[in-house]
Structure 1
Amino acid sequence: MDWSNFKFIDLFAGIGGIRLAFESVGGHCVFSSEWDEAACKTYKANFDETPAGDITKISSENIPDFDILLAGFPCQPFSIIGDKEGFLHETQGTLFFEIERILMDKKPPAFMLENVRNLLAHDKGRTFKIIYEHLNNLGYHVHYKVLNALDFGVPQKRERIIIVGFKEDVPFHFPAPLSEGEKLSLSDILETDVDSRYYVRKEIRESRLRRIKDVDYPKPYISHENIAGSITPHAYSSALRAGASANYILINDERRPTERELLRLQGFPDDFKIVVSYSQLRHQTGNSVAVPVIKAVAKEMIAALKSTE
């Protein structure tokens, strides 16, 4: 197997952040799946391919052979049915079951899954325990770690669990954080000439400035409104969220981030095409991955696989 030229599939593909990362280390996507229409529109504009729809309706036979399965899968609670139903039933009806089914049928050498940090704590740890055991039972050596986008060069605090598995017991290590000098700052990613439509109304601005925790915080900053309503400025963005309110993060308490800035906060390149509305793109970037984190993981995975060639 030549690991400088490998095939992967992109499940729950979103707008293709994981795909970008694995293409950067020599991968070729042979199949993608995503059910959200607006996300598919962005994906098609950037990869010239419309993902197949709902993965629950696609049989493994209709998926071409591949070397690595990639999925940023939604976290759903598992119904713990108990031993009488048998082990497989634990995951049925969840989207993780689709990953398990495809791994079982196709037996690729490796996979990488991405999920929210809370997956580890979900249902007092039982959800993750089931996922881990099921991947293990499929014959994979499983590694997992919570990685923060801030450590990999983008000014966004975004902690995500990365789960990596290999059929062979390869010498895999998660990537080390970048040095301070290698990271992008807010100034590096902010646009200078921003249209007035991104600026918030005077009342919103005044209301935010009244509640700000550190009035002398150096600009540029991104402030975040928490559930209690207090406003905290940081030299980085809090995690982009798909369902957040429009003014949940503001730059210098003056304006919303532009579409390009939202993509840059996730480490997407500037030639990434924007073909949907602002609210759709905000939703898409909130659901996406921080590309540099996945790139760093992809590099380590391929290095580990190459070492056993």
Structure 2
Amino acid sequence: METNKTTYKSIDLFAGIGGIRLGFERAFGDKIDTVYVSEWDEYAQKTYKENFKDNFDIAGDITQVDEKDIPDFDICLAGFPCQAFSMAGKRMGFDDDYKGMCRGTLFQDVVRICEYHKPKVIFCENVKGLTNHDKGRTFKIIKNAFEQIGYTVYSKVLNSKDFGVPQNRERIYIVAFRKDIESTGFKFPDGNESDTCIQDIMEKEPVSVKYYLSTVYIDTLVKHKARHEAKGNGFGYEIRDLKGQAGAIVCGGMGRERNLIVDTRLKDFTPVTHIKGEVNRDGIRRMTPREWARLQGFPDTYKLSLADTHLYKQFGNSVTVNVIEAIANEIKKVLDQA
């Protein structure tokens, strides 16, 4: 009975807006206590602080943090940056340079911190492209790094659409248990909730006219898509079936035009922003940040107060909370028996 009373201490690295933490808190309830958070993006920090009330400050650049200054912890949560390995990016991997920082090697800071603290479990999430980057060598290096510091590594690609959200989003999940913990019983969850559709997550009330595309912009999108199709590329805007699922919302908040929907509830077509042409009468609009939040499994109680541009970026960079919660439940089973 004593093991069930254990409170696990966790740290949240590359925390973004807290999606991984939220999933673990759903699974562990009051049996998890976040003792350290690191996130270098100032706008992500603002959204994080608005939704999580900690009695410590969020640390910035993790590469500048001495591992000895981090409190002891049992669980490391680390959604290390995906852009270096993403199909949507240049896929530079360990050679990726962004603002003087190598995003591809930031996982080494996870290794450095965990080698010193030896937590019970390390949890990482990344893009599916990580698994085949550089013919699989990159992923092998990452797995080997965790094994060399004393961990048994499990990994699996899961799709968000199987976990109760209407988003076709494949990601690789890595779970590493310290080798003295009996983890052979660990298994990734089987997602079996794939019947949720876009209609289920749409705003209940008509949304602002600002989300509706102008006729001139739609014409630009049509021409852009035609140019790419002529070259044999699949790029371009896409209007999603409300009874279907969205494509992956992606790093940086790009891809809004890949997830357009038709919503004919708008009655007042007077623009509230400067647009070319007029508001289209076919009901074609972008999804709202709240709808993107729902695509990622964030509850409606999650506060969204920043400008839309920041919110789209944050949710595109975030994780699907439902998937994290399902994996965290399986991790908890192993830890509670250890």
Instruction: Please indicate the TM-score interval, normalised by the length of the shorter structure.
Output: 0.7 to 0.9
Q: Does 1:137 align with 2:148?
A: yes
Check the 8 A contact 2:166/2:245 in 1, yes or no.
yes
Q: Does 1:161 align with 2:191?
A: no
Q: C-alpha displacement at 1:43, in angstroms? A: 0.3
Q: Aligned residue for 2:312?
A: 282
Q: Aligned residue for 1:113?
A: 124
Q: C-alpha displacement at 1:61, in angstroms? A: 1.4
Q: Aligned residue for 1:173?
A: 187
Q: Write out per-residue CA displacement over residues 117-167 of structure 1, whole angstroms, 9 at most, x where no aligned residue.
A: 000111111100101111111111110000100010100111100000111
Q: Distance in 1 between matches of 2:53 and 2:40?
A: 17
Q: 1:186 aligns with which of 192, 198, 212?
A: 198
Q: C-alpha displacement at 1:206, in angstroms? A: 5.8
Report the aligned-residue RMSD: 2.5
Q: C-alpha displacement at 1:281, in angstroms? A: 0.3
Q: Distance in 2 between matches of 1:29 and 1:155?
A: 29
Check the 8 A contact 1:144/1:161 in 2, yes or no.
yes
Check the 8 A contact 1:113/1:164 in 2, yes or no.
yes
Q: C-alpha displacement at 1:60, in angstroms? A: 1.2
Q: Distance in 1 between matches of 2:206 and 2:136?
A: 47
Q: C-alpha displacement at 1:178, in angstroms? A: 2.2
Q: Distance in 1 between matches of 2:142 and 2:206?
A: 47
Check the 8 A contact 2:240/2:260 in 1, yes or no.
no
Q: Aligned residue for 1:104?
A: 115
Q: Distance in 1 between matches of 2:306 and 2:103?
A: 34
Flag the 1:149–1:246 CA change in 2: closer, same or farther, 3 A. Answer: closer
Q: 2:79 aligns with which of 69, 72, 84?
A: 72
Flag the 1:175–1:245 CA change in 2: closer, same or farther, 3 A. Answer: closer
Check the 8 A contact 1:155/1:237 in 2, yes or no.
yes
Check the 8 A contact 1:212/1:231 in 2, yes or no.
no
Q: Write out per-residue CA displacement over residues 27-61 of structure 1, whole angstroms, 9 at most, x where no aligned residue.
A: 21110000000000000100024421111111111
Q: Aligned residue for 1:231?
A: 238
Q: C-alpha displacement at 1:230, in angstroms? A: 6.3
Q: Aligned residue for 2:268?
A: none
Q: Residue 78 of structure 2 aligns to which amino acid in structure 1?
A: A
Stretches of structure 1 that go unaligned for 5 or more consecutive residues are 80-90, 214-225
Q: Distance in 1 between matches of 2:208 and 2:103?
A: 48
**Structure 1 length as normaliser, TM-score?**
0.84
Q: Residue 127 of structure 1 aligns to which amino acid in structure 2?
A: T
Q: Residue 96 of structure 1 aligns to which amino acid in structure 2?
A: F
| SS of the residue 1:78 aligns to | helix
Check the 8 A contact 2:239/2:261 in 1, yes or no.
no
Q: 1:300 aligns with which of 322, 327, 330?
A: 330
Check the 8 A contact 1:12/1:73 in 2, yes or no.
yes
Q: Distance in 1 between matches of 2:148 and 2:53?
A: 37
Stretches of structure 2 that go unaligned for 5 or more consecutive residues are 85-92, 96-101, 227-232, 263-282
Q: Distance in 2 between matches of 1:92 and 1:136?
A: 21
Q: Residue 36 of structure 1 aligns to which amino acid in structure 2?
A: D
Check the 8 A contact 1:31/1:51 in 2, yes or no.
yes
Flag the 1:154–1:97 CA change in 2: closer, same or farther, 3 A. Answer: same
Q: C-alpha displacement at 1:187, in angstroms? A: 1.6
What percent identity do the matched residue pairs reach? 46
Q: Distance in 2 between matches of 1:29 and 1:98?
A: 19
Q: Aligned residue for 1:220?
A: none
Q: Aligned residue for 1:2?
A: 3
Q: Distance in 2 between matches of 1:130 and 1:212?
A: 38
Q: Aligned residue for 1:17?
A: 19
| SS of the residue 2:316 aligns to | helix
Q: Distance in 2 between matches of 1:254 and 1:239?
A: 19
Q: C-alpha displacement at 1:246, in angstroms? A: 4.8
Check the 8 A contact 1:119/1:127 in 2, yes or no.
yes
Q: Write out per-residue CA displacement over residues 167-203 of structure 1, whole angstroms, 9 at most, x where no aligned residue.
A: 12311000011245xx532122101321111111123
Check the 8 A contact 2:166/2:198 in 1, yes or no.
yes
Q: Residue 259 of structure 1 aligns to which amino acid in structure 2?
A: P
Q: Distance in 1 between matches of 2:161 and 2:43?
A: 28
| SS of the residue 2:284 aligns to | coil
Q: C-alpha displacement at 1:305, in angstroms? A: 1.6
Q: Distance in 1 between matches of 2:161 and 2:311?
A: 21
Q: Distance in 2 between matches of 1:93 and 1:206?
A: 38
| SS of the residue 1:228 aligns to | coil
Check the 8 A contact 1:141/1:169 in 2, yes or no.
no
Q: Does 1:255 align with 2:279?
A: no
| SS of the residue 1:48 aligns to | coil
**Structure 2 length as normaliser, TM-score?**
0.78
